[in-house]
Structures are given as structure tokens and as C-alpha cells.
């Protein structure tokens, strides 16, 4: 069995030969450095958390504005479509009313007249159907606001390099 020469590395002898003021200075230095690193780590951690929260707040504000922009565009389009739809519907009601009156007039005036009148009636019917189809062609799409997500990258990076060096230094 190989024996390690502990006598040469005797810590007691080493400590004995060190001057007493130096011993006190060493102990105080160790205490001061330990307390410094503990306090500064806590301060740094709280600062990092604060900075992180602020950065997240900035990104959230940009996201909110972006979502609002999307909402504004979709709501604007929707409102215009509704207005257009209502206008067309109004026009259709008026047209249908006029067409119905014309139909009644033609029916009353036609009597025994033949094909020409019948063709005209069919044409009037076709016009009505065309108008109906025009109005209902573009069905209004309600805005789907759930899918509005921000795709922009605002280049706000949360730096962790400092934290890593701090942890390493404590180890």
C-alpha cells in the first residue's frame, strides 16, 4: 500500500506558522467575499427578472397593437360588407316590388295574347332571380379573430450570458 506523506502537507503546521493578523484578515476576506457574492447574486437575479418582465411587456404591447391592426382591418371589411349587403337587400326589395307590380300589370293586360307576353314574363322572372343571386353571391364572412397571432420578430432578445458567468463564478 502506498502511503501519502500527509506530514509535509500538515494544515495545522501551516496555520501555526501564519501570523495571527493575517489569519483574521483571511477570515474577514472570506466572509466579505461570500456575503458580497450572495448579495450581488440576489440583486442581479431581481434585476434580470425585472428586465425580463419589462422586455416581455414591450413585446406584449407590440403584439396587442398588431392584433388590434388585424382586428381593425377585419372589422372594417366586415362593416363595409354588411353595409353593401344591406344596400343590395334594400335594392332587391324595391326591385322585387316593382317587378311584381309589372307582372300583375302584364297578367292583367295580356288577356289572350300568346307567346310574346309569356316570354316577357319569363324574362322578368329571370331578372329577379339574377338579382337574388347577385345579393347572395358574396355571403358575409364574419371575422375570425381567434387566429390573429403576431408573426413579426421584434428582435428583443433576453440575454442570459451574464447569468451564466455569474453562476460559473459562484461554482
Binding site for another protein (CB under 8 A): 14-15, 17-19, 22-23, 25-26, 29-30, 32-33, 36-37, 40, 44, 47, 51, 54-55, 58, 61-62, 65, 68, 72, 75-76, 79-80, 82-83, 86-87, 89-90, 93-94, 97, 156, 159, 161-162, 165-166, 169
Q: Which is nearer to another protein, 32 or 122 (CB)?
A: 32
Q: Which is nearer to another protein, 81 or 117 (CB)?
A: 81
Least distance CB 144 / another protein (angstroms): 18
Say what the alpha-carbon torsion angle 142, 146, 151, 155 is, to the nearest 10 degrees.
140
Are 166 and 123 contacting, i.e. CB atoms less than 8 angstroms apart? no
* DSSP assigned state of 2: P
Grid cell of 161 as nine digits: 450570458
> Any residues with CB less than 8 A from the CB of 76 and at least 6 apart, and which?
none
Amino acid at each position: 500500500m502506498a502511503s501519502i506523506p500527509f506530514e509535509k502537507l500538515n494544515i495545522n503546521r501551516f496555520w501555526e506558522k501564519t501570523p495571527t493578523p493575517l489569519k483574521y484578515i483571511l477570515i474577514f476576506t472570506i466572509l466579505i467575499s461570500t456575503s458580497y457574492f450572495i448579495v450581488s447574486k440576489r440583486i442581479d437575479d431581481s434585476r434580470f427578472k425585472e428586465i425580463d418582465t419589462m422586455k416581455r411587456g414591450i413585446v406584449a404591447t407590440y403584439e396587442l397593437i398588431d392584433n388590434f391592426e388585424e382586428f381593425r382591418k377585419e372589422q372594417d371589411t366586415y362593416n363595409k360588407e354588411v353595409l353593401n349587403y344591406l344596400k343590395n337587400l334594400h335594392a332587391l326589395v324595391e326591385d322585387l316590388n316593382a317587378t311584381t307590380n309589372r307582372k300583375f300589370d302584364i297578367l292583367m293586360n295580356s288577356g289572350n295574347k300568346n307567346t310574346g307576353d309569356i316570354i316577357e314574363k319569363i324574362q322578368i322572372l329571370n331578372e329577379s332571380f339574377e338579382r337574388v343571386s347577385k345579393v347572395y353571391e358574396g355571403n358575409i364572412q364574419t371575422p375570425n379573430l381567434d387566429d390573429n397571432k403576431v408573426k413579426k420578430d421584434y428582435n428583443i432578445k433576453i440575454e442570459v450570458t451574464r447569468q451564466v458567468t455569474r453562476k460559473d463564478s459562484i461554482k
